Amino acid sequence: MINSDYLNNLNKAQKDAVLCLDGPLLIVAGAGSGKTKVLTSRIAHIINEKKAFPNQILSVTFTNKAAKEMQNRISSMLKSQNIGLSWLGTFHSICAKLLRKHASAAGLTSNFTILDTDDQVRLIKNICKAENIDIKQLAPKYVLSIIDRWKNKGFYPKDVILDKRDIYEKTVQPLYKIYQQKLLDLNACDFSDLILHTVKILEKNLDIREIYTNNFKYILVDEYQDTNYIQSKWLYLLAEKHKNICCVGDDDQSIYSWRGAEIKNFLDFDKVYQNSKIIRLEENYRSSQNILSVASNLIENNQNRVGKTLRTTMEKGDLVSLNCFKNGKDEAIAVADEIEKKLKINFSFNNIAILVRAIFQTREFEERFLKVGIPYRILGGTKFYERAEIKDCVAYLRMVYQPKDDLAFDRIINNPKRSIGESTIKLIHEYSKNNSLNLEISSKKLIELNLIKPKTKIGLSSFLFLMEKWRNDLNIKKISHVKLLQLILDESGYSAMLKNKKDVDNENKLENIKELLSAMKEFDNLESFLEHVSLATSIDQEWDGEKINMMTMHGSKGLEFDVVFLPGWEEGLFPHQKSIEEKGQNGLEEERRLAYVGITRAKKKALISFSMNRFYQGDWIDSMPSRFIEELPEKFIEKNSFFDENENDENDFEFNQDFEIDEENNYKSPGWIRYQKRIK
């Protein structure tokens, strides 16, 4: 017997969405509007009204976590643990189930293997080797990203339409053909194949399609704004008979185009599914009204959206803070002080988050938190000094500073590749152990004794020569530690490795290294910097108890916190220049949706900030406030600036000195002056 009050706990719009069972339905669910509650209540209602048996309901999510949560909620509503929702799961899990039943139609057997990312990379590496493709120039992961993009569009190798703007697609297309054949030979498929094969089977085999179109009387889809072409095609095929498809999502939270998501699926729902209904869930149960008003006003600047107006029954709450700082260091100091002096009294650390546009931005906050002892965690990422590329750079510096540092030697001897294989490294270690010598001296001795293979000898000798040169640069020529790292990155080939290799992760790595160069400028010499890094990495950050959360805005979707800091709202950084350059107006609108997502993570307090100067790659750069700042509604925000009050006009920011920056030599930067002209 179903819980009798399950409908009574819904507001009017939610109830309408649950009761509207016939025909296509698009539920536009604003942030914090209870979409999961609606989805689960709708499934419970379908079963309770005997509109369909549980195994006739297809319910699709994007994550296993979401699927499990829905299963548990429905079981609780129906007061049963065995309700038989056999078709509730992710796109990939459901398609894998279908594909195993009809594997022969895709040239596979039912016991096919699903390759993970590592397996895929190894397979592409082997193919590239056989085809004489240099993986130093074209990374296997990048090859796979192009193949994945094609599969998301429904393209097998023969269907590919080359994008002339992408110079790599022409090279990848024949590799894609070989890759797919290898998968068939292995009786295997990758994750994208699970959906692509299933769609092609349904398209080409009407008898198979009829089985499922007859069976699935109701289809429910969560996070519909995140679907790609092939996912939407699969849903369309399965819904063709009963047409009882209900898609839930928020076009204002469509932020994953870089993963293949197409907002067009959401915006064109009523065109694809004739006679469809649209219900808007506009009552927010998360945030205060002031926060919602700021987010709503901002997102209204987007043209490509269905449109809705969020409201809440909660109090207006605090105004959204807009804070201007002299530089990024001041910004980090102020955030730490605000947390220490005020927020920790009323809020737990676990309910405070710092959301950044790019992961390199966490560095200054990490530095400050470590200095003042505020515990933190990086969600969905790695702490700054623990990132691989940062550890590589530090290892080079350690080796220059201390020739006996065998751990550093091990890390960098073949990074980037110098034709120094495992057997050579093993030989160096054995010689070191037997003769009580460090690894660098052991390497020199082995070369002198002519015990190193000729090809390996060239690479090893070059490495040892550069080490001596860099020590001379540091100790004799007295170059700065910042300049030293720049030389190391150039002369070792490390920068070229990242710049020349087309890899999906390399852009972030380069940004992190630039941020490292900025960090080094704050120290007088190499010794003090290395000491700082050692202390930073040795501090136990796995304390029990509460921690401040740091993550990208992309990684924050679906989460909520009492207090949210949104730093770095500057042109070029946010909105990100690359996004605008590559996608134009569509890119700008997605960046604005990202801002909307960031603001609506906050329940009680949202604090936006920007700096007039950024320390970038060892130099001060004047920055301009993000164009999004001009789109924030004045009556819902509180402006604070942390320059000398006497240096500014009366019409400038209201000088509410809630943050105390105890720094000398405050000044008006060129960026600040330009900003004042813009806001007048």
Known catalytic residue: 79?
no
* Residue ranges with strand state E in 568-656: 602-611, 613-616, 619-622, 637-641
Q: Which of 15, 36, 209, 371 is catalytic?
A: 36
Count how many Cα atoms sit within 13 Å of the Cα of residue 611 in the half-sphere of its side chain: 23
Q: Side chain identity at 133, as an amino acid letter?
A: I
Q: Is 36 among the residues known to form the active site?
A: yes
Residue 316 falls in the annotated catalytic set: no
Q: How buried is residue 105: exposed, middle or buried, by Cβ count under 10 Å (0-12/13-18/19+)?
A: middle
Check 193, 222, 251, 367 and give the catalytic one.
222
Active site includes 382?
no
- The span from the CA of 123 to the CA of 246, in Å, is 39
Which tokens go with 266? Answer: 């959401």
What is the four-CA torsion angle of 239, 241, 242, 248, rounded to 10 degrees? 10
CA pair distance 617, 450, nearest whole angstrom: 42
| Angle, helices 35-48/64-78, rounded to nearest 10 degrees | 50
Could you tell me the CA-to-CA distances from 235 to 212, 218, 231, 301, 390 in Å, in that order? 11, 11, 6, 31, 44
Residue 56, phi then psi, degrees to nearest 5 = -105, 10
Give catalytic status of residue 181 as yes or no. Answer: no
Burial 583-620 (b: 16+ CB within 10 A, else e): eeeebbbbbbbbbbbbbbbbbbbbbbbbbbbbbbbbee
Q: How far is C-alpha 538 from the chain's CA centre?
A: 27
Q: Of residues 223, 331, 389, 515, which has the active-site annotation?
A: 223
Given the residues 14, 61, 120, 253, the one annotated as active site:
253
What the block records as the tokens of 271 is 């065109």
Dist. CA 94–CA 187, nearest whole Å: 19
Rounded Cα distance, 423 and 445, in Å? 16
Beta bridge partners of residue 75, listed in sequence order: none
Q: Identify whether 644 is a catalytic site residue.
A: no
Q: Which of 14, 35, 593, 603 is catalytic?
A: 35
Q: Which of 308, 593, 601, 614 is catalytic?
A: 601
* Active site positions, annotated: 35-36, 222-223, 253, 601
